[in-house]
Structure 1
């Protein structure tokens, strides 16, 4: 008995399996992106030839109408993280021979973001990427059903093919774990804005690590990512020698340090502080700041890879694992071993945070 069913055409994931690489690497080879080892590129090209891979009919149809332009929607803020993500994405897109139309939204209103998306669609972009800070915007983006690929850089406990993200939750747990293992039993948290996606995940990590260790939840207060908020809250919080504070980001930690000096509380002798992001200035504060490093450059590149995979193959149903963070131990916490990554290792180029 013969099987008249036509064989399934190979897709980008078949190529990746045969070549022993990720689908993102295959996409990089297809699009001529840099940072692929010659031996890896040759292996991928051999797998493409062996499987006779070509983009899906839907994708080929899309190719004929491409403008080789991508839309980027980013918040109109000066924070290091969103700026670094957007800059890296744009540079990587240009290396792949795509231009980028950037729209900055003044606030995180879902209606404003939707209007920005509609404007980019009228310009016939091939795909849209968003840097999402507010959970309301993230919820709106999840409901979109557009004719072009959409990728969002956003933190969420719900995995989705739509998202690329850095693991805020595990980063927060690592920060609290370090403080607890340094002997602190009261660990306060200055969070970011209540509706900020990153802040929500960091609060969740802070709470869960405390709960696992049987430590009380004390002094959760909300800031706005700024040094000014850290300073103001640092003057108001009920802080006593022996406590520790996990701050929402490094700018908040900077303001907190200034407030503690006015209150004649020393860091780390009286209060230990851990920040989040590892901005370039963190190593040069006094004392140098223990913090959680985010690789924003890698996130920007991942955004491009994900949208290009969809453009080449017509769909991308994978749910990527969030990028890992790295605890950087410096002198703002008790028992610190000195400036650098855990044992003084210098930070890699391009890996500094918000």
Structure 2
């Protein structure tokens, strides 16, 4: 409900109106809006219900003036043309808007070895309140460490980092689920097409594939190194000697698509002759021929976790123990039980 202003017109509801409606303090409302991790779910629901009932919207300009902040988060994204990094960026933008922040991004890539370094300089010059690095390669992160960064910085990678906050989807759990699925179907020779070894996510998926096979007492062949593109998967599909391998775990869906295309041109049927599992669950994966069994990454949850962590750091709040977001295996028609010899 709005009240009349001195000029006689309706006044937009304030944070104090929300607090009164929800029966909490205005500081509690602020903490809910900023994604504070130590808010009870029942309190959060009351505050969000009051916000909806009052049609309350925050003014980023007013908040920036009151807090002396830019209300902007800088994001350095490595190779944004790939589905995974781009999806994380979109999710961060959505979550940032919900918290009253805008996002400025800087695209780094293989053609610019100093991309991350230059991105940090450019974004910090804009006066951002925090930095996030998406899908980093080891080399780009090493360059970033050389910068004297005065704002909270978060890197999206699985391993904890001594110098930066970190949030990630559990890459190892996703890869393990994919490989265990194939083992449960009776596959004993499972090849792996990996992403570039300089990428943290590719490294984690490859290591998990190897560890899972070893734990099951199964042989481990050297991984095949792709470049995330469907073209590299297609090249493997045209040339790969399967031998006695009956399944392939592929580090992303785009390479899996190319692999199945190349195999089909050779008359090798999926899943009759070889099962294929991807990673990401791109929107088109369920329309591949055959529909692709893959590991779904919940990018929306990742975006919320990134922004929650950064806003808490901006506010000087303690954050809860680091959480790895769990992926989900989506079983479709590209995998099948091993046919009896």
Q: Same fold (TM over 0.5)?
A: yes
8 Å CA contact 1:109, 1:137 repeated in 2: no
| Residue among 249, 265, 268 paired with 2:268 | 265
8 Å CA contact 2:160, 2:166 repeated in 1: no
CA distance in 1, matches of 2:214, 2:87: 34
CA distance in 1, matches of 2:328, 2:163: 23
8 Å CA contact 2:35, 2:311 repeated in 1: no
CA shift, 1:143, in A, is 6.1
> Which has the larger displacement, 256-265 or 107-116?
107-116
Which consecutive residues of structure 2, in runs of 5 or more, have no partner in the other structure? 1-27, 49-64
TM-score (norm 1): 0.75
CA shift, 1:107, in A, is 2.9
Partner of 1:80: 83
| Residue among 227, 233, 253 paired with 2:256 | 253
CA shift, 1:269, in A, is 0.9
Which consecutive residues of structure 1, in runs of 5 or more, have no partner in the other structure? 1-24, 46-61, 337-354
8 Å CA contact 1:132, 1:138 repeated in 2: no
Q: 1:132 to 1:287 in 2, by over 3 A?
A: closer
| Residue among 154, 165, 170 paired with 1:167 | 170
CA distance in 1, matches of 2:145, 2:184: 39
Q: 1:197 to 1:249 in 2, by over 3 A?
A: same
Q: Secondary structure at the match of 1:313?
A: coil
| 1:14-61 deviation per Cα after TM superposition (whole angstroms, max 9, x unaligned) | xxxxxxxxxxx998604279xx9983327899xxxxxxxxxxxxxxxx
CA shift, 1:139, in A, is 3.7
**Pairwise mapping of residues 1-12 of structure 1 onto structure 2 (< 5 A)?**
none
8 Å CA contact 2:192, 2:248 repeated in 1: yes
> Which has the larger displacement, 234-243 or 291-300?
234-243
| Residue among 327, 330, 336 paired with 1:328 | 330
Q: 1:301 to 1:27 in 2, by over 3 A?
A: farther
1:218 equivalenced with 2:221 (yes/no)? yes
Partner of 1:7: none
Q: 1:288 to 1:324 in 2, by over 3 A?
A: same
Partner of 2:234: 231
CA distance in 1, matches of 2:258, 2:118: 36
CA distance in 2, matches of 1:257, 1:99: 40
1:284 equivalenced with 2:273 (yes/no)? no
Partner of 1:194: 197
CA shift, 1:111, in A, is 2.8
CA distance in 1, matches of 2:180, 2:162: 24
Q: Secondary structure at the match of 1:209?
A: helix
Residues paired across the two proteins, number: 293
8 Å CA contact 1:157, 1:201 repeated in 2: no
8 Å CA contact 2:291, 2:332 repeated in 1: yes
Partner of 1:148: 151
CA distance in 2, matches of 1:26, 1:271: 55
CA distance in 1, matches of 2:177, 2:326: 11
Partner of 1:71: 74
CA distance in 2, matches of 1:205, 1:244: 16
| Residue among 111, 124, 128 paired with 1:125 | 128
CA RMSD of aligned residues (A): 2.9
CA distance in 1, matches of 2:98, 2:147: 28
8 Å CA contact 2:131, 2:153 repeated in 1: yes
CA distance in 1, matches of 2:198, 2:267: 33
